[in-house]
């Protein structure tokens, strides 16, 4: 099953976690204080990240969490939007490479 992935930048991570938890009706499955949060619902994979390379509130990228993805892939659509395709384990590997102390498991 595929889940739509939405990645958004923020400079208000605590407020965004509270807001999106309310909007999604669920708490994040992972919070890295001051830096990152991830929600994995039945239909969505949403991440927010404190990202100095992007203005707050902007889309960082879109994609698909796909259990059948053999590897992480990335391409760009006709509008210049980055689309990723990955499995939950690919995403966990990326998270654990950025924040090794977390030991995230999906």
Is the model's pLDDT at 21 over the cut of 90? yes
Q: What is the pTM of this model?
A: 0.91
Class of the domain covering 2-98 = alpha beta
Domain boundaries, the chain: 2-98
Query: What confidence category does residue 27 fall into, taking pLDDT thresholds of 50, 70 and 90?
Result: very high
Q: Count CB-CB contacts under 10 A for residue 60.
A: 17
């Amino acid at each position: 099953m595929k889940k739509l992935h939405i990645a958004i930048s923020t400079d208000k991570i605590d407020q965004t976690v509270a807001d999106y938890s309310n909007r999604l009706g669920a708490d994040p499955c992972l919070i890295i204080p001051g830096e990152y949060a991830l929600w994995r619902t039945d239909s969505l994979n949403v991440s927010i990240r404190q990202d100095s390379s992007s203005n707050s509130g902007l889309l960082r990228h879109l994609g698909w969490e796909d259990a059948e993805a053999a590897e992480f892939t990335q391409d760009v659509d006709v509008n210049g939007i980055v689309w990723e395709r990955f499995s939950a384990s690919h995403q966990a590997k990326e998270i654990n490479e950025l924040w090794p102390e977390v030991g995230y498991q999906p």
